[in-house]
Structure 1
């Protein structure tokens, strides 16, 4: 069975350069590929890198959908549906807003974790009984999380190819975040599996791509102890909660942390509370930044403009 996985061309914001669209490979599609590759002949095409080859007729097409690429995803689907190819749409926008997707756009929707949906999708497609949607239940443990098929990456295509996920979702429920409306199961991966992914990449510089690298402080500490011998340089995204754990900041520095992405979001307390960003305390911003800078860790500060408490 031939399965083609597609990442549609993203829409660039006015300030974006071409580096934005070549930032990193799509770990979701690489994970799907690894889940089904033993039963199927899998190819991945990223329209941000090169044009899609529409001259083929695979048995199944899977399209990763974010809100900005939905119109293009529908165009791609229509081309393959005209050929009689069944098209599955999945990804974070399908998971969080499946009720907004036009019913005629795709043959089936994949909602939630690929590990709990794609094996059944393949089985049903083989027997001509594809359902209109597949909804994932919770994962039983981090052992259930599949690794991406890193061997399918052309490293020359991306600014960052060395991206690693250590968890799924986030324990916080900030109103403006995809995670607040998607699958709400925060779960860490098996540490051995993450270490194996790092080994596969064969590099000393790793970008941990989690929504929240410190969602489980105990797990993070255990993991950092394990990567000490690897002598890595690494980057990650965390919340302001990191400021409550000076020993964890020390451990991050010791294990090679170069920078942390932090969602400060706003200097307005009213704006922060209006979007349920309860873990952020405006009065602690400067102290946290100072503590990280003292340890030689760069702060990549993220802000959201246009929240209800923002003034001109």
Structure 2
């Protein structure tokens, strides 16, 4: 049996890091974790081929040489997924589609996709494999309950060309206990967090290490700290022990809620385990908009104090922000800018409010007749599938101005310096200097220091970091490169 796994291409987005990846000669930021995990359920005697379209082109012969095409995608990959499906239809090859896009929008693909795996696939794979063997595939595969991820196997790293990726990804938990109105995580993964065991996690880290990986690893969890007790008592101590035994081969980053700042022990353990970046949905400094969004975990915190504390424990905060709430006033754009600058949120992803299927916001606006189509999935484009209370033209104009202003070199490097002043540099993790790092450093000098609009700010920060905070110099170079990518995205809005 020949199975072709296809991961559609991403458009140029904030998180694609397209312009930054060129500095380190990589093709994609992250691998298709879902597909290589599902591949572990397929029989060993089957011939499995993966095509990640963010790294290589999908060839017609790949499709023709397959018996089935498995495709997984998120909303942001919709356009590419539609093209892939058409190619498969033209070649007469049956498609098995899963992942968030097809789970939330099966009706969109009713006439073009042959078989759907809706929701989590782990507990459906045995049935799916048997049906393929017997040539009796059903139209739909779905489970009413969320699966036990303690039985999820180690991903098939061997299907990847590791040299193509800027980072690897693994998963410890699924689900988030919070219920933000604009979020579809509760529909996709549930509000009751489910976790893997520490033994599982160490097996995955070891398998990744054995595959030859020695760089950053992204924990793709919806909220990594959803079960704080288990993390502190079991999981993080196990990771720390493994990292020490292997000379800290990995640095980690993940997503957390802002109440992370309330637990000093948890922050200390995550820092010692090798975590140095966390994404936090800060959303807005406006309390009325936070209440509207059911973002009560943010309302309970003094956001500025929480940010400063998390940074002081050694974490770079990547912040998510939203404009276009019903409660937003015309002054929100200035307030967002001032908040982001004041708190040194170097990587600030600002998007216009959208309503994904499965979210409470989607249900509310459907009743209010304020929806217009589906989300694009691109957090920093100028589209929204809602009819906002704020004038749409005013919203889009001021949104574009806000993003452009945030990523003007002076403003970006001001935030970078503010962050580095408060940043605690890891003492246990030595910067790994190889050809990739040397190449990126040289390219940064030429592209940012000689050619780029940011050359004045680049050199000022370059020498400030060398003289005032030399241990943070690698972080400064990395964030300067990221800033170049973000500026390019902002200029193309």
TM value normalised by structure 2:
0.59
Among candidates 160, 165, 173, match of residue 179 of structure 2: 173
Greater C-alpha Rg: 2
Alignment CA distance shift 1:37-1:178 (3 Å): farther
In structure 2, distance between residues paired with 1:116 and 1:75: 29
Deviation at 1:76, TM superposition (A): 1.7
Deviation at 1:75, TM superposition (A): 2.6
State yes or no: 1:31 paired with 2:30.
no
Alignment CA distance shift 1:294-1:22 (3 Å): same
Q: Which segments of 5 or more consecutive residues in structure 2 lack a partner in the other structure?
A: 22-26, 331-493
In structure 2, distance between residues paired with 1:129 and 1:48: 32
In structure 2, distance between residues paired with 1:71 and 1:234: 31
In structure 2, distance between residues paired with 1:15 and 1:25: 13
Deviation at 1:140, TM superposition (A): 5.5
Deviation at 1:60, TM superposition (A): 0.7
State yes or no: 1:224 paired with 2:232.
no
CA contact (8 A) 1:61 1:88 kept: yes
In structure 1, distance between residues paired with 2:263 and 2:312: 14
Alignment CA distance shift 1:240-1:197 (3 Å): same
Q: Give the root-mean-square deviation of aligned CA atoms.
A: 2.2
SS of the residue corresponding to residue 226 of structure 2 reads coil
Matches within 5 A, 1:1-312: 1-13=1-13, 17-18=17-18, 19=20, 22-38=28-44, 40-55=46-61, 56-98=64-106, 100-139=107-146, 141-161=148-168, 163-184=169-190, 186-202=193-209, 203=214, 205-221=216-232, 222-229=234-241, 230-231=243-244, 232=248, 233-281=251-299, 283-312=301-330
Could you report, residue by residue, the CA deviation over 1:73-130 in whole angstroms, capped at 9, with x for unpaired residues? 23322322333321011111222333x3231110011111121223322221222222
Number of positions where the alignment pairs a residue of Structure 1 with one of Structure 2:
310
SS of the residue corresponding to residue 73 of structure 1 reads helix
Residue of structure 1 equivalent to 2:477: none
Alignment CA distance shift 1:40-1:168 (3 Å): farther
Q: Which segments of 5 or more consecutive residues in structure 1 lack a partner in the other structure?
A: none
Bigger fraction of residues in helix: 2
CA contact (8 A) 1:57 1:85 kept: no
